[in-house]
Amino acid sequence: MNLLKLLCQELNELGVEATLDEYGYVMGRIPSNVDEDVPAIGFIAHVDTAPDASGENVKPQIISNYDGSDIPLKGVPGLVLKTSEFPELLAHKGETIITTDGTTLLGADDKAGVAEIMDAVQYIMAHPEFKHGPIRIGFTPDEEIGRGVVKFDVEKFDAVYAYTMDGGEVGELEFENFNAASAKIHIQGCNVHPGYAKGKMRNAILIGQELNSLLPALARPEHTEGYEGFFHLISFKGTVEEADVAYIIRDHDRAKFESRKEMMEKVASFINEKYGAGTATLVLKDQYYNMREQVEPHYKVVEVAMKAIADAGVEPKVQPIRGGTDGANLSFRGLPCPNIFAGGLNFHGKFEWVPLESMEKASQVILNILATFAAGA
C-alpha cells in the first residue's frame, strides 16, 4: 500500500488524474489530445512480488557495459549468475545489467513494468505535442497470489483495450496463457507408538509421498516447455498424524486441463480406497483460464502491439505465457488484455535480472502503441 500511495501521488504530481481505492488499486486517466474518436487504451502492472523468495531490503547490483562474463552475486559468497546456466545474458553484452545481490529477489516482476509505465507517463505529460487518445493507467496488488484483479473495477477503468507490462525477455508478446487450478490435499494418518505400530499406523507423510508418486513424473515444470502442461508440487508439510500437500495444475489446452484435474481426483480417490474414506481430502479451485479465446476476436490489439514492438527496433516474439497475468482474468471480464515484455528474466528467484535497455524499449513500446491507435490503427 505504501508503494501504491507513492505511485498515486507521483501521478497526481505529474498532472494525471489518479485515485487509490480501499482495495489497493491505483487508476489514472489522461484525456485524449486529438479530435478523432480513438479507443481508450490501458496499461497495467502489479506492485507485489513473488512469495518464492524475499523481496525485503533489496540490494541491486548495477553492471554497466556488461562484458559477457559470469556475475558474482556478492551478498552470498559463491553464488554466481553464470552464462553457462543462463546463456541469455550473452545477448545483452554492452548493456547495463541489474541483478540481485543473491540475498533476495530483484522485484523486476513487476516493478520493471511499473517503472516503464511511469516513464512513459512522464514523457507524455512533458510533451504535449505527442498525440494520443484516452489513456488509462492501472497498478494492482496481489497478482502473484492469483488475486490481482479480484476487486478491479473494469467499468471504472473504462478502457476498450489494455496491456499488462508483465512479460519477460525483450520482444515478447503474449496473448495466450495457462488454464490454472490449485489443488490442496489434506492427508489424515493414524499415529501409534512406533513400538506397537504394526498393522495400525498410517504415516501421513508416506501416504502423501505415495500420492505424489501416482502423478506422471515427466509432467512436472522441470520437464516441460512450450504448450506442455504440468502438476507442480509447491508445498508439503506434515507429521505422521496428518499432512498437507499443495499443487498448482497448468495446461494451455482446456480439455487437457480438465483431464489433469480429473487425474488429481482419481489419485485422491485411490488413496481413500486403499487407506479408508477420509484419508485424502482434496480441494480443487480454478484460478484463471487461457485468455486466447477472449483476445483473438479482437486481434487488432495484438497486431498493434506487434507493430509497436517492431517500431521500437525489436523483433516481436509472439509466444504463450507459461504462467498467468492480471490480463487473463481481465480478458474474461470484457477487457482484452495481452501481455508485453517488461524485460526481466529468472523471475521469482535470487537469480533475477533485467537489462536497463530492455526496460527503455518497453517504455517506447507503450508510446508506440498509443501513437499507432491515435493514427487510426
Q: Which residues are catalytic?
A: 48, 143
Please classify residue 266 by burial: count the beta carbons closer than 10 Å to its beta carbon, then call 0-12 exposed, 13-18 middle and 19+ buried. Answer: exposed
Q: CA–CA separation, 43 vs 311, rounded Å?
A: 18
- Work out whether the CA dihedral 344, 346, 349, 351 comes out positive or negative: negative
Give the Cα separation of 371 and 353 in Å (integer).
30
SS3 sequence of 202-231? ECHHHHHHHHHHCCCCCCCHHHCCCCCCEE
Asked if residue 372 lies in contact with residue 307, where contact means CB atoms within 8 angstroms, the answer is yes
With cell 501421513, the residue in question is 204
User: In angstroms, what CA-CA distances link 337 with 132, 133, 177, 332?
Assistant: 19, 17, 12, 9
21 alpha-carbon distance from chain centroid: 23
Contacts of 128 (CB under 8 A, 6+ apart): 33
Beta bridge partners of 283: 184
Q: Report the DSSP beta bridge partners of residue 249.
A: 181, 231
Task: Answer yes or no: are the C-beta atoms of 324 and 289 closer than 8 Å.
Answer: no
Cα(177)–Cα(252) distance, integer angstroms: 6
- The one-letter amino acid code at 277 reads A
